[in-house]
Amino acid sequence: MNKFLLIGLFSAVFIFAALLSGCSQTTEKQENLEEYPVYKNEDLGLTFSAEEMVLKVWAPTAEAVKVNLYSNDLGDESAINEAQLTRGDDGVWSIDFDNGKAGLFYTLQAKHSKGWSNEVPDPYAKAVGRNGKRGQLINPSNAGPENWSADRRPNFSGKKPNDFLVYEVHVRDFSISENSGMENKGKFLAFTERGTKNPKGLSTGIDHLKEMGITHVHLLPAFDFYTIDETRLDEPQYNWGYDPQNYNVPEGSYSTNPADGAVRIKEFKEMVQALHEEGIGVVMDVVYNHTSRTDGLSFEELVPGYYYRHWNDSTLGNASGCGNEMASDQPMMRKFMIESLKYWADEYHIDGFRFDLMAIHDIETMKLIEQELRESNPNVLLYGEGWTAGDSPLPVGKRALKAHTYQMPGIAAFSDEIRDGLKGHWSSHESKGFVSGNFALKESVKFGVVGGIEHPQIDYAAVNNTDTAWAAEPHQCMVYVSCHDNHTLYDKLKIANPEASEKELREMHLLSNFVV
């Protein structure tokens, strides 16, 4: 019985706190959030027509909202224009721009009791300049590669999720090696290069992906994230991307010109187009559970205290381990998540989404996401981490935990049971797994083999990380042994088995993946 499979390159599950230490994590808890108006239309952010662009932002508690226009993406120069937005129904403010202003950069400010907020793009911004400081007046539909309208998702009709084989990869690491044979090292465009080889003559890049026989590439976060300084890309910098800044924008450091929002959009689409041409689907790793910080980001600056969860004493929830957690159960945050995912699926032809710390989100939101996305793509792939990194103000019964997977029929969760069963515990580096001779973990391996469902030949009391079946169908259980969970599989096996020969390590490695 085949399972929903994942193979990957990297290691480390909860890297967040170390990456984000020192970030400001404060918000002011607001009362009576249920009284905030809910805007129904799907036209927040920028919309476009032949004559004009319309910018709408939801800021129900603001006394005023203004937009500042700039000729450059960064700099200390004064705005070339400043204008007030007009308040409409349900807390939405709007302003019209003639198309002659296309290409200019913009920021928003909201006036509350304490004065004007910091300048930020709007939450729905689809194009930004360097470091995501300013939005850009660009129609993404005009920023596509040649024949983009003819791009088609791979034909997975007749296949079931059980047949999918997903390969996790970091955009930069995919090509950055000096031996990769690729020209656009560390960039989206590296995925478009064919015929590349390493010094030993072995295929690299997209050719290697194809020869492995995978069905999908899972991109570690490729939206605009905070840590990389895009004004210093000639210097060594690194981040995995789990520090979101602008959710609807491709990451600038992976483009050839992060100062131009249109370049990011075009090159991301070229990557997707090239993968689709080879019959490979594209999955995005999405991190709607927290942001890189709260102060200085659009959510908190425009609507203080709304988008983040708080405890009763007004302190921020921190189920992410990063200082904050997003409130998916708030109607306008739920709306944002759904519309953001639909945007990536429709504008960029994304084939699936992996949800970081999915259990921070509520079950209802995840079910609505699945319903909305499957309407336009019946084969959309949806899966996530069925746990949190800490406690949450969201009641346990409402969390999208792996224990609640049966309540989300079209969504899968990672099986850390078989992962830790095969190679040993992910954070206990010297612990041995089944492939190293620790046969006490065999029930955990069997759990993954049957896909997390109820099975009479499994002793659930001997399974790690759970004591019961949690999948209603095998396709809801994502079987894997090596993706970003600390050491790579080879390194984990080598540390846990210092006495093993190279031949034995290779055999353990092969056995691990054979079981998957």
- Residue written as token pair 């090596």: 482
Which structure tokens are listed for 334? 């739920």
Helix and strand totals (H; E) in the chain? 10, 19
Minimal CA–CA distance to 190: which of 177, 199, 394, 327? 177
The token duo for 52 is 């004009």
**Bridge partner list, 5:** 165, 479
Active site annotation includes 356: yes
Could you tell me the end-to-end alpha-carbon distance of the chain, in angstroms, rounded to an integer?
11
Q: Is 97 helix (H, G, I), strand (E, B) or coil?
A: strand
Count CB atoms within 10 A of the CB of residue 83: 14
Beta strands 64-70; 52-58: pairing state: unpaired
Q: Is 385 a catalytic residue?
A: yes
Q: Which of 385, 417, 420, 485 is flagged as catalytic? A: 385
Tokens, residue 144: 């596509």
Q: What distance in Å separates the CA atoms of residue 277 and residue 152, rounded to the nearest whole number?
A: 8
**Residue ranges with strand state E in 391-513:** 412-414, 477-480
Distances (CA, A) of 111 to 63, 249, 438: 5, 26, 62
With contact defined as beta carbons under 8 Å apart, do 436 and 499 qualify?
Answer: no
378, with CB counted inside 10 A (0-12, 13-18, 19+), is: exposed
CA–CA separation, 176 and 113 (whole Å): 49
Please check whether residue 482 is in contact with residue 515, taking contact to mean a CB–CB distance below 8 angstroms: no
Find where tokens 């896909």 sit.
451
Beta strands in 391-454 (DSSP E): 412-414
Residue type, 41: N
Determine which one of 168, 356, 362, 417 is catalytic: 356
CA distance 197 to 187: 17
- Nearest 5°: phi and psi at 68? -115, 130
Residue 281 corresponds to which amino acid? Answer: G
Q: Return d(Cα 93, Cα 383) in angstroms, integer.
A: 35
The residues, any chain, with a CB within 8 Å of residue 284's CB and separated by 6 or more, are: 219, 221, 222, 223, 344, 350, 352, 353, 354
Give me the active site residues, please: 356, 385
